[in-house]
A and B are shown apart, each in its own frame.
Chain A
């Protein structure tokens, strides 16, 4: 029997306790990580208190239903998790250089590291970064004032934050699971993993997964219903297209994940036998359902990055996007085909050759639309007047390394080859090459691109450029040697190895890890330095990159209501056309009263309540879990009775604000593209190349 009040919790759940009893490098690393979390929280609380920022934080951010702020909060959350994920990666690399016949960490600790690293990077870095970018940019790109369901949007963020919080808490209280980021049963069933680790994963993924499903619904409805007049399907910016495909994929791919985690939870908590060895369980069905989510997820996070690359290749080459229609078709094709390939994650599970062959062929086919996209971007750059600024550096790095990763993917798609290299470092190299170069580089480029739109000033170009080169070099060194290691037979997820020939390559990968760490530090410093220097980097007029789409026609930072008057669109790249015709920045024909959603605390209440519920379930504190569940249901019902949900902004106020903005435009000196990164760039572009 467990304690009725504290469940499984007792005094021995923190790593400090083990360090005290049994001092070792292993325990010191675990305690150091836990201490870092605690100190981080203390530092944030202290900073907020010292600068009296609690009230503004609550009023302007946490309770805001503004899609831009929610998008930024998604990115901040993902940034914090990225720091942890990268640090874990470097700790693993450090362990691996010592891992010839042993290693500084215990095998169990190493298993926790690769499990949390994968879980964090997929669910709490890649997915929230993508969700954040879509949240921020899509309504601006389609001429809408907010998402279709602003409060639901806040709830999605709350659920994601609750999941991320659970993963962070697992560092301090108890342990995380050791079953890898996919947590395959029967190993993760109650028989073989009785501790709280797998339960942390279950509730973190279960709760945040529901948030992602809701986000997908919200994005899809927004893009379907909220486009401004004239914005037909084939006039939508490419990023919005990729966001639409991602949204639809989220709607269909995240439910299988919820089902898989719910079934595993039933197995672990209520003694069901879906995935157990005995009594009719079938663990292979877990792999099947999990990857029905898992494969589309890869494209969920990579498609919007393709969208970013489409936007920046056109913007920074000052050319219309080449092959717009083919890019749309390729995006749709990838979205559908990605639901036909999930079996390639378990070619070796034992099904017959015809099944493997069919899914192998589907996997190879998906490389075709991806190839179309790469050629389209190359053709967009061809003979363009390219500025080699930060986003284009990421694009160039993406071209080289992503094609490398993509080609090894086609190799792995062949089941006969997969049988040789599956579960090896070759695979690790492959998916880091595609996911980092695809998703992370795309998002970094997107953040650099849209940062001024969010905050009103650009990022420091020199530092950001250094960071880009460091990320590129670091990831090359950290992952390219792994292809060789994999082909030489080094398995993935192995805490130690006995072949001394692996060691030099591990040192190389370790050096790569250090470069990545330097890149992370440089990135953080870029933000700090840019904030300090924000007066010189400001670009209030709103078009620092000679942009082509609607979001660049409004000031930086974008006002809460996005547009002074609802825009109307006649063609693709509306802003470029207006600039070519000499008619941007003109007073609108008429202004209307608008309604914007009021602040609400619902998202925060649900974040706290679901987070507490997850924690209570992990530790079998049943009364607390029930209480939290009642709070969740009660909060949602209570919200239904709130009738005053919108505030009205009068037309005259919008008109006055617009006129003030237009006066400012007229007082600003336009800059050439050569001075784009200099202090003269106040956000008014002098268009040189006709549309």
Chain B
């Protein structure tokens, strides 16, 4: 029981630190080095994905042996994220092409 609590605490602290670092990295990518625009965007997207993974792992306790309900939840989230992100890129891309 005590070990459980200890490993839980370690997990939450690690999660908080890693997600904090990832957030700061995102700011650094934009404000710091002299990178090409597409490189910056891809790095930002990568950092965003890493953030999702860290939060799922450390805060929501999702692992390879999670329950079926968790899998359903993740798959449904992926569907909605796909709709929202895909739709946004499509809409804003169409607007950008027609406005310039």
Interface residues of A (CB under 8 A from B): 224, 248, 252, 256, 282, 284-285, 288-289, 292, 336, 339-340, 342-343, 349-352, 354-355
Structural contact, A352 and B94, CB atoms closer than 8 A:
yes
- Using Cβ atoms and an 8 Å threshold, which residues of chain B touch A339? 80, 83-84
Structural contact, B99 and A342, CB atoms closer than 8 A:
no
CA distance in complex: A186, B3 (Å): 54
Of all chain B residues, the one with the shortest Cβ separation from A282 is B92
B contacts with A, residue count (CB < 8 A): 17
Known: A252-B80, A292-B88, A351-B98. 19 other contacts (CB 8 A): A248-B76, A252-B77, A282-B92, A284-B95, A285-B88, A288-B88, A288-B92, A289-B88, A292-B84, A339-B83, A340-B87, A342-B87, A343-B91, A350-B95, A350-B98, A351-B91, A351-B94, A352-B98, A354-B94
Those of B71-100 within 8 Å (CB) of chain A: 76-77, 79-80, 83-84, 87-88, 90-92, 94-95, 97-99
Min CB gap B77→A, angstroms: 8
CA distance in complex: A292, B84 (Å): 7
Asked if B34 CB lies within 8 Å of chain A CBs, one says no
Of all chain B residues, the one with the shortest Cβ separation from A337 is B83
List, sorted by A's number, 5 A–B pairs whose CB atoms are closer than 8 Å. A224-B69, A248-B76, A252-B80, A256-B84, A352-B94
Min CB gap B6→A, angstroms: 18
Cross-interface CB contact of A288 among B76, B91, B99, cutoff 8 Å: B91
- Max count, chain A CB within 10 A of own CB: residue among B77, B84, B97: B84
- Max count, chain A CB within 10 A of own CB: residue among B69, B77, B80: B80
Min CB gap B69→A, angstroms: 7
Of all chain B residues, the one with the shortest Cβ separation from A284 is B95
Min CB gap B12→A, angstroms: 13
Q: Which 5 A-B residue pairings sit nearest by Cβ, starting from the closest? A: A351-B94, A352-B94, A355-B94, A351-B95, A252-B80
Of all chain B residues, the one with the shortest Cβ separation from A354 is B94
Structural contact, A355 and B90, CB atoms closer than 8 A:
yes
CA distance in complex: A355, B98 (Å): 12
- Max count, chain B CB within 10 A of own CB: residue among A252, A282, A350, A354: A252
- Using Cβ atoms and an 8 Å threshold, which residues of chain B touch A340? 83, 87
- Using Cβ atoms and an 8 Å threshold, which residues of chain B touch A343? 87, 91
- Using Cβ atoms and an 8 Å threshold, which residues of chain A touch B94? 351-352, 354-355
CA distance in complex: A340, B80 (Å): 9
- Max count, chain A CB within 10 A of own CB: residue among B77, B79, B90, B98: B90
Min CB gap B96→A, angstroms: 9
Those of B53-71 within 8 Å (CB) of chain A: 69
Min CB gap B14→A, angstroms: 20
Provided the pairs A256-B84, A339-B83, A339-B84 are in contact, do residues A355 and B91 lie with their beta carbons within 8 angstroms? yes
